[in-house]
Homo-oligomer: A and B are copies of this chain.
Amino acid sequence: MSKSWFGWAGRILCINLSTGEIIKKPLDPELTRKYLGQAGINAKLLFDLTEPGIDPLSPENPLIFGVGPLGGSLAPCSGRFTVTSKSPLTGIFGDSNCGGHWGPELKNAGYDHIIITGKAEQPVYLWINDDQVELRDARHLWGKNTWETDELIKTQLAQPSAQVACIGPAGENQVRFAAIITNLARAAARTGMGAVMGSKYLKAIVVKGNRGMGVASPDEFLQTVHKSESDIQHDPLYEVATTFGTTAITGLAQMLGFLPTRNFQASTFEEAENHRGEVILKNHVTKHKACFNCPVGCSRFYKVEEGEYAGTVGEGPEYESIAALGSKCGNAELPSILHANTLCNQLGLDTISAGNAIAWAMEAYQRGIIKSGDFAGDDLLWGDHRAVIDTINKIALRQGLGDVLAEGALRAAKKLGGEEFVVHSKGMDYPAVDVRGTKGMALAFAVSPRGGDHLKGLPLYEVAPEVYQKDIKTEIGIDITPQYWAEYDTKAELIFWHENWHCVVDSLGLCKLEGICIKPLKPSHFQQLLATATGWDISIEELEAVGERIWNLERLFGVREGIRRKDDLPPHRLYNELIATGPGTGEGLDHDKYEVMLNKYYQLRGWDEKTGIPGRERMQKLGLEKEIEAVLSVAVVES
C-alpha cells in the first residue's frame, strides 16, 4: 500500500457528549488496510469500543459514522455513508447505509469517521465546518420533525448548503426502529440508529466541507471512473433503474409472486397494479433526483394533487416502502403510501420496520390477539390507510398502541402474543421479498449479521437469472438454470460471494444498487477504482478477503451477544408455511434442504456447524485472532 492514502491524512473525529471533549485522530493505516473504511472500519471500532451486554440505549453505546475511501470522490455512486452502533432493535450488530450528500460533505470536511460516545445533558447538535467542530444547543429543535430541523439549522447557521443528518420525534422518543434522515428523505433507516442518536440527546450532525479530496493517480482514476460510468449506462437494467428506480420491482414482485401482502399471509396483492412504477411515474413523479455523483439518479420527487392526501410532497418512495406501507398492510391507496413515506421521513422512522409492525398489529387484530378496545382508538384493519397514517404518528410519539409497536413487532408480540406472526430474523423485520421462492435470499436474510435483511447479501439475480447468467458463470463460477431461483444447490456459494462483496462495496463508499445488487460494477471495477484512488496495489482476491474479514467481524459481534445457529433460520411463517397465493403458490422452504444449504454455507465460512460460531483457524487466517479469542472467552463462560 502506498504511504499516501487518498493523498491526504484521513481523520477520525471523536466526540464525547458526556464531557464535551472533541478529539481529532489520524486514521490508522492498519485499520484501513484491514477494513477499508466506512462500514468495515465502523464495525471494527464498534467491536473494540463495546463490552458485550451493554444497553444499546445507554451512554456506553458508541454511535459511529463513516465514509469510505471512494466516498465523495468522482467514482460513480459515491454518495454513501454508514452509521454503526449496537442496535436497540436487535441487541446485536447494527448499521445502516445511507445515500444523498451528507457523506461526501463529511469527507470534504476532512473526516472519514465520527465516533459519538456518552450522552449530552440536554439536546445538542454537532456542527462541523472543516476543522471548526462544536456542539451547539438544540433544545429549540427537540420535538421538531426532520424537515423543520433541516431548515431551522441551515437558516440559523446561515449555511444553506450545509448537509444535515438528524433525527425526528421517533429518534427522540427512542423508537427502536428510528432512522437518521439526511436531505429530507435519505434515511439511515434500519436497526434503529436514530434511537441511539436520540438516547444521546444528539439531534443532528451538520457538516460543511470545503477541503476537497485528492487521489493517488488522478489520470488512471479518471479513466476508471469513465469506464465505470459507461458500464453503468450500458447495463441492461440501466433504463429501468434511471426511469423507475426501485419502484420497478413492484410489478415484478406481483408477477413473480414474491410481494408480501397482509403481513406475509399472501404473496401477491390484488391491488398491486396500482402500485407499479409506471403508475407512480405517470401520476405523481414531478422530477428525477440523483444522490452525489450518480449517473443513474434512481430517485424521484413526488406530489399528490388530488384527494385527501393532496398537497403531499416527498422523495421516493422506494419499493421497500411501497410494499411495507402498502401491500404488507393490505393498503391499496397509493396516495396514502406516498403520504406515509413522507411522514416516516419527517418523523424519522424506518419504513420497513414501521410497515411490518403495523402489518403485524393488523394481523393481531384480525386474529383476535389484540381486540377492539384494547387500545382505545387504535383498531387496525387491513387496508385502512388512515389507520396506517395514524399509527405511524402514534409510533413516533409513543401514544397508545404506537407505544407498544415502537418497541418493534417482535417485542410487541412478546408482550401481546402472536410471536409466530412476526416475520423477522434476529429481531429485525423482513424486507418485501417473500423468500420462500428464492432459496438464496432465504439464506441471505436469515444469516445477515444485522438480522432479517436484504442489504447484506442480496443476489438480485435470483429473480432475474437470465439477465446475468454469463456474469455469474464468469465471476462466481456458478452455472445457473432458468429455475435457478427455486434451487438450493450452489446458493451457499452464491451468498458467500455476495456477502463478501457487499461488505467491500459498503466499505469503499459506493452504492450497492449499481455496485452489487445489479451488476454493472464488478469486482474488477472496485479494485481498479480503489487502486487508482489510493495507490494501493490490492488484488481482487485480497479485496474479497477484506470483505470476508468484515463479514466475520460483524458475525463475531453477534456471537459475542449470543447469536448461534438457531438464529440463522428463517422466521416461522416463511420456514413452516407455504406460499398461499399467486404463481409461487405451494413454494416453501424444505427444512432438510435448508439445513444442508446452511451446513454448506458454514463450511464455506469456516464456521462450526453445530453452533454457528466462526472457527478459530479461519479467523486466524483472516487476521481476527484477537477478536475470536475475545468472543470465545465469553462463549465459554456462558456455556
Contacts and interface: CB of A to CB of B under 8 A. Distances in A.
Interface of A: 262, 265-266, 268, 270, 330, 365-368, 372, 379, 381-384, 576-581, 585-586, 588, 590
Contact of A588 (B368, B383, B578): B368
Contacts of A366: 577-580
B578 A365 contact: yes
Contacts of A576: 367-368
A265 B573 CA distance: 15
A585 B367 contact: no
Oligomeric state, in number of copies? Answer: 2
Nearest to A371: B591
Contact of A577 (B330, B368, B384, B577): B368
Contact of A379 (B270, B330, B586): B586
A383 B587 CA distance: 13
Contacts of A585: 330, 381-384
A372 B589 CA distance: 11
Contact of A586 (B381, B586, B588): B381
Contacts of A266: 266
Nearest to A587: B381
Contacts of A579: 366
Q: Which 7 A-B pairs have the closest CB atoms?
A: A381-B586, A368-B576, A270-B270, A366-B578, A382-B585, A367-B577, A366-B580
Contact of A578 (B265, B381, B581, B586): B381
A188 to B, nearest CB: 34
A34 to B, nearest CB: 44
Contacts of A365: 578, 586
A580 B368 contact: no
A581 B262 contact: yes
A265 B368 CA distance: 14
Contacts of A580: 262, 265, 330, 366, 382
Nearest to A420: B367
A361 to B, nearest CB: 12
Given A265-B265, A270-B270, A368 B578 contact: yes
10 contacts: A265-B580, A268-B270, A270-B581, A330-B585, A365-B586, A366-B578, A372-B588, A381-B578, A382-B580, A384-B586
Contacts of A384: 585-586
A538 to B, nearest CB: 47
A372 B366 CA distance: 28
Nearest to A270: B270
A60 to B, nearest CB: 42
Given A330-B580, A382-B586, 17 more contacts: A262-B581, A265-B265, A265-B580, A266-B266, A270-B581, A365-B586, A366-B578, A367-B576, A367-B578, A368-B576, A368-B577, A372-B588, A381-B585, A382-B580, A382-B581, A382-B585, A383-B585
A372 B592 CA distance: 12
Nearest to A363: B580
Contacts of A379: 586
Nearest to A365: B578
A271 to B, nearest CB: 9
A576 B265 CA distance: 17
A112 to B, nearest CB: 48
A349 B366 CA distance: 33
A326 B384 CA distance: 28
Contact of A581 (B330, B577, B586, B590): B330
A267 to B, nearest CB: 10
A579 B362 CA distance: 11
A517 to B, nearest CB: 30
A255 to B, nearest CB: 14
Nearest to A368: B576
A241 B268 CA distance: 35
